[in-house]
Structure 1
């Protein structure tokens, strides 16, 4: 799949924006639970969006956007000699794939057991709020760094195709 640099940039920025919003919700959950002492931490948008189907959808969208970036970028990294960037994309795609599997299990638990904050796989062993904050941070940082790299390369003229 050959995508233009501009298209890859758009997918990367979309992924970064989606995950930025998701990160804000997870940060809010941490603050609500551990700073404010709320027994139920549902993020900024509260019960409205703190539902397994919503988290599942966020993670599916992020996985799809990450996949499109990987598909497009794999044809470009040798041209730019950006092996580290390509490895970051592969790492993010691999880790987000695991994160998505967690959400597949969580949504299955939601529909079969009726739980709201389902444990998933590792949530039985690690606090789910902390676990999913860590998952989201791990897949956010590489793409945020790559988005910054893309923007600085664009400003320097290295990515003239992006306007």
Structure 2
């Protein structure tokens, strides 16, 4: 590269963006066409003076297209952020519902376990009571058999015992 190449670069840079002369003047800092709005969106070219708008129909058309493009992009961005926020809230609500559901199920399981333990305890008590009653009945039968065997029986008692025993 020689010294002459630098002057060629300067000429290209002064012609504007992408080599189109006058295009850099479209967004000159004097007019400040891009303004930050309080709601977080970008507005383009609203405060551009009328004499600049009327200077070139092509530039005005480009300005309108850019303005619409930025407005659509901002609207898409707002819509996307809104969808993301709604999705985040829905996910948090679903997680909270799931946690409440899990808690309710755990409480129900705990109640069922407690009831099952109570029923098991009652079952053991009833089984013990039945075994005790069976043992007492066996003892009473043995005692009765011993008393009957030790006592001399009359013929009437023998008939009654035979009737009771056969019945």
Greater CA radius of gyration, 1 or 2? 2
TM-score relative to the length of structure 1: 0.30
